[in-house]
Structure 1
């Protein structure tokens, strides 16, 4: 059975997304941004965004809203709330059309159409983790939203998803289309899974390599482009293992800053492509989208 922490995370995400889709946010607008990694064509796809109150329950657990507000203010952002984008990544390979995460099922289908891709053309869906803002778009009108796709996630994450009552309707629809792997495995040609522990039991990223080009989708290693980088040591309520999430966040950010590797961050401002830079005792975000041709 899911523990109280698991249920809190899933419930809070569901409530936050529902709220942002109604009174707090305008109707979600589709958007897409194409670029290349080596010979591969990639497209960042916008699905939704949601607003979380600055109440110390998610970002900066254990810190006051006033303290969190000072970090937001220093970056020129509103101090009463944190806005997160919800995006997915499309990879067009010679014999495959790969989608990494599916958002909540907001504007994803329209964004996919902008990218010139039909749902039935998607051959593989790679899930970083099973929170509803990453796999909610797998199902549409009670059916598979991508009817010909194999859904791939780590074995630990699929086991975690199957125990989560919040995901029962999604699990029922996708069961039979899921193939699992061990973190570190090459899940499809040119894309290797990377263990990123702490957020959920089987949370992974995906490293995409083509020639000399490389990009790492880091999933929910980070959330806010401000707080996650300025205060990576602050605990995050979304993390199933808050201390494990903190360690993974700091270790991953240090490595990315050292290697100057291109990353995709699904919750940073769209299109969520850029690099992590060291900035004194913390980090900063440098948006950088490669050319499409």
Structure 2
């Protein structure tokens, strides 16, 4: 993978001291990782099946606070052939939650010179609000193409008709916010949703594939051209997942299956030496993984200038 300049904004438009976009090539496919900001979440959500002191010790070892975890939020823009694909859509805005550090996607797309009307396809790894909320902000639907295609697994769409949160451990207020956002998303974009069962090729070299686990219809997006590969894993892998792949995240709808999914993904990435991007790993969120006994070792990719 090499640095790409095609999707890089004009220097006159760079107005942030902290980088919020990172461009690379996967063969002849252009990829841009964009930060939607950070999502402050009570730290206990990172692992609700271990004692608080065990999680606290891990957080201490990572030089992270014990009270609030600030999850990075990352999305992708992928350009393959004539198609420009937005993979997930960030948080947007919910007036009932104090999440002011996130929801920056629309401004950052503009800063990168990407017009909403140029997006031909949206791929959703799943329909949690921090993956679809950016498209339900007032005034955004009118800026999208009338022939926009939204790709999401049929299982995921079905789940959100009557979601079951009985096995999750979310902070107060989030279940209602998730329901509201998913309902609003389908009201706005339901006629443009294209579902798939197991996998679907969205564009040449861009395939969305059902994994389940985090939500029943959670999917990953595989980008490949020639010998080069990059996978966007959505919420399959978190910061704790390398050392502690068996810890359950509070937003996982089937924790045991989610653990099986991430272990399989990481073992495959390690065997193939394949890079991946995750929603909630530190920006620019490009990582490799190595097997380390019964756990894994996280290897950040070297920033490519």
Bin the TM-score by the shorter chain. 0.7 to 0.9
Residue 178 of structure 1 pairs with residue 155 of structure 2: no
Map of 1:161 onto structure 2? 160
* Cα separation, 2, equivalents of 1:133 and 1:34: 22
* SS in structure 2 at match of 1:230: coil
- The alpha-carbon deviation at position 249 of structure 1 amounts to 1.6
Distance 2:152 2:116 in 1: 19
Distance 2:66 2:143 in 1: 39
The structure-2 alpha-carbon separation of the partners of 1:43 and 1:156, relative to structure 1 and needing over 3 Å to count, comes to same
Counterpart in 1 of 2:122?
125
Q: Measure, in 2, the Cα distance between the counterparts of 1:140 and 1:59.
A: 28
Q: Tell me, yes or no, if structure 1 residue 234 matches structure 2 residue 234.
A: no
1:228 deviates by 1.6
Helix, strand or coil at the partner of 1:194: strand
Alignment of 1:253 with 2:240, yes or no, is: no
Contact 2:153 2:210 in 1 (8 A): no
Matches within 5 A, 1:184-263: 184-223=199-238, 225=239, 227-263=240-276
After superposition, residues 30-179 of structure 1 pair within 5 angstroms as 31-55=20-44, 58-105=45-92, 106-141=103-138, 143-144=140-141, 147-148=144-145, 149-164=148-163, 165-166=179-180, 167-179=182-194
Q: CA deviation at 1:45?
A: 0.6
Q: Quickly say closer, same or farther: Cα 1:289–1:112, change in 2 above 3 A.
A: farther
Post-superposition Cα deviations, 1:237-257, rounded to whole Å, max 9, x if no partner, equal 211111111111222222212
1:264 aligns with 2:277: yes
Q: TM-score, normalised by structure 1?
A: 0.83
Report the more deviating stretch, 139-148 or 267-276.
139-148
Q: What is the aligned partner in structure 2 of residue 26 from structure 1?
A: none
Match of 1:235, SS state, is coil
SS at 1:120 equivalent = helix
Structure 1 counterpart SS, 2:270: helix
- Extract unaligned runs of 5+ from structure 2: 1-17, 93-102, 164-178
The structural deviation recorded for 1:142 is: 5.6
Gaps of 5+ in 1: 1-28
Q: What's the CA shift for 1:203?
A: 0.7
What is the total number of aligned residue pairs between the two structures?
Answer: 261
68-77 or 90-99, which moves further after superposition? 68-77
Question: Offset of 1:132 from its aligned partner?
Answer: 0.4
